[in-house]
């Protein structure tokens, strides 16, 4: 879209068409704002979606209450799984 707008500007105002200038303006008018706004907007959207989901839903999986609906084998596996640090010290 930026390329089309710059081409129209060049033809009507400058009465000529400069390919390199049109490509540079297309990048500056379209891609640079996309790159600048993509990160902050993504962070804002993810934080808003986390607020709507609620923090209690995420932390419930790590508590005893969050384990109630799971099969017994999964509950036991959660309790007995060694941490990475414990596994490293056991190998010594």
Per-residue pLDDT tens digits for 14-44: 999 999 999 999 899 888 899 999 999 999 9
Please report the pLDDT score of residue 1 as a whole number: 85
13 in any annotated domain: yes
92 in any annotated domain: no
72 in any annotated domain: no
d(CA 40, CA 31): 15
Burial of 3 (0-12, 13-18, 19+ CB in 10 A): middle
Mean pLDDT of 60-78: 57
pTM of the predicted protein model: 0.42
Above 90 in pLDDT, residue 8? Answer: yes
Count of domains observed in the chain: 1
3 in any annotated domain: yes
83 in any annotated domain: no
Q: Which domain holds residue 25?
A: 1-53
d(CA 84, CA 3): 54
């Amino acid at each position: 879209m930026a390329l089309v707008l710059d081409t129209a500007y060049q033809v009507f105002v400058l009465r000529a068409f400069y390919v390199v200038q049109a490509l540079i303006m297309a990048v500056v008018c379209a891609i640079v704002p996309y790159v600048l706004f993509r990160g902050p907007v993504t962070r804002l959207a993810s934080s808003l979606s986390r607020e709507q989901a609620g923090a209690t839903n995420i932390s419930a999986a790590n508590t005893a209450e969050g384990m109630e609906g799971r099969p017994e084998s999964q509950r036991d596996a959660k309790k007995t799984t060694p941490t990475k640090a414990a596994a490293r010290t056991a190998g010594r």
